[in-house]
Structure 1
Amino acid sequence: MIVREDVIDLETPTGPMRTTFYMPGDESDRRTFPGLVLYSEIFQLTPPIARLAVQFASHGFVVAVPEIYHEHEPPGTVLQYDDVDKEKGNRYKQITKLSTFDNDAKVVVDALPKHPKCNGHVGAVGFCIGGHLAFRAAFLPEVRAACCFYPTDIHTGTLGEGHNDDSLARVGDIRGELMMIFGRQDPHVPLQGRRTIHEALDNAAVNFTWHEFNCAHAFMRDEGARYDPAVGQLGMMLAVDLFRRNL
């Protein structure tokens, strides 16, 4: 399907959150579709993230991409894939309150069912820090499924201000189906870290599937040396299947 785009500033406790919506079908299409919150990497809505959002929308989802650092940067800010902005994005990750990330999730999850193109069903997907944010979004009962691509900091519990998040302690709050996708050559989530996450999900009897590929971190990003197109296509279809089954 063709995809249209719209931009809405959603009100949050820490100010407006610029959110880009990608909608399947042209203006004459009266159908409604399931909603997806798509969480970006630390660089916000870069061209690779926008292309991933368009792919999901073309499979029949209304995709909302919130700016995760709206508290720190003006609306529309896109960080660059360079060392300067990587340091900035990682700093924002460390100084943003966990409550801010969670409040933002609630705002966008509540906004999606109210969108005229959404059928009321909501899932979440994310990449890198976005994978962790999608994981936490799954704590909300409205989120029927979540797909987390190479999520960072779950095993270390270091997301947000204070570096003491409760993501692993709260896995029992996940009621929908969860999908975890990792690269074995990802230094950000090494083998022991993956085992820690897997064990926590097992112990909490979470309904989840687990996939590992011989890839580096950010293998879904279609820019740079780490991109793996074949595995990227497979990862996309695994996620699409998850959301079609649950939404």
Structure 2
Amino acid sequence: MTGNMISVETSGASGQMGAYMATPDGEGAPGLVIIQEVFGVNDFIRATVEAYAAKSFVTAAPDIFWRLEPGVQLNPNKEEEFNRGIELMGQFDQPTGIDDIQATITTLRNHPACNGKVGVLGFCLGGRLAYMAALGTDADVAVSYYGVGIETMLDQAGNIKIPTLLHIAEDDGFVPPEAQAAIKDGLTADNFDVHIYPGVDHGFARFTGMHYDEAAANLANERSLALLNSAL
């Protein structure tokens, strides 16, 4: 199921943001915002959009780096492009990114094929932003894959009321054991579900990446789909 680029109207006078979107056949489908890693709306993110559209979600991935450099598509397996992604992350304004994610949520809610409910699902930087979106947007459900720095925002967890699922890689150098323990201990309310996947590294669900682990990715994806279907 192929997608296409659409234009999302953002808040304020900042203009139009691109988003890669794919829609299922028919109407009454839930919406899902896919939030990129630091590598832009690349082949992995576009394939993820198409996969969820094939599972009957109105799906879109906003180009959240558009204010810095529109149309970023980086290959994390190439050192120069990996480093460029890290550089862009350092320049990226996360609160403004949350505004852009909200604009994408609103666009999907208003789409004629959508039933009005919209979730967010993100990887790496996008996993962090999915947690922030659970706090700062009107999303109905949030899914985070190996989100970075979530342990620094646990004091706000009580403000999250929507179902929120976190997938954590046990061997993630960006989320060390003490951070994993803090997340596990800090997110114990009924609306949180935290899973730590043993023996896998950051990026284990990116099928184009060197740390891809098919078994862990399939299990995480099954859990994600089950929650999205129940919540949306």
TM-score by length of 1: 0.86
1:69 matched residue in structure 2? 65
Partner Cα distance (1:79, 1:85) in 2: 5
1:9 matched residue in structure 2? 7
1:163 matched residue in structure 2? none
1:4 CA drift (Å): 4.4
Q: 1:95 to 1:224 in 2, by over 3 A?
A: closer
2:184 matched residue in structure 1? 198
Of stretches 47-56 and 4-13 in structure 1, the one that deviates more from structure 2 is 4-13
Confirm whether residue 209 of structure 1 aligns to residue 193 of structure 2: yes
Alpha carbons 1:33, 1:61 under 8 Å: kept = yes
Partner Cα distance (1:201, 1:195) in 2: 10
- Which amino acid letter does the alignment assign opposite residue 175 of structure 1? K
1:141 CA drift (Å): 5.8
1:148 CA drift (Å): 0.4
Percent identity over the alignment is: 30
Where do 1:38-187 residues align within 5 Å?
A: 38-74=34-70, 76-81=71-76, 82-140=78-136, 142-155=138-151, 157=152, 167-187=153-173
Deviations 1:119-143 (A, max 9, x none): 1001110111110111111124631
- Which amino acid letter does the alignment assign opposite residue 177 of structure 1? P
Partner Cα distance (1:17, 1:139) in 2: 22
- Which amino acid letter does the alignment assign opposite residue 5 of structure 1? G
Partner Cα distance (1:153, 1:85) in 2: 22
Unaligned runs of 5+ in 2: none
Query: Which protein is richer in helix relative to its size?
Result: 2
Alpha carbons 2:9, 2:16 under 8 Å: kept = yes
1:239 matched residue in structure 2? 224
Unaligned runs of 5+ in 1: 158-166
Match of 1:222 among 204, 207, 211: 207
Q: Please tell me the root mean square deviation across aligned C-alpha atoms, in Å.
A: 1.7
- Which amino acid letter does the alignment assign opposite residue 197 of structure 2? F
Partner Cα distance (1:171, 1:94) in 2: 25
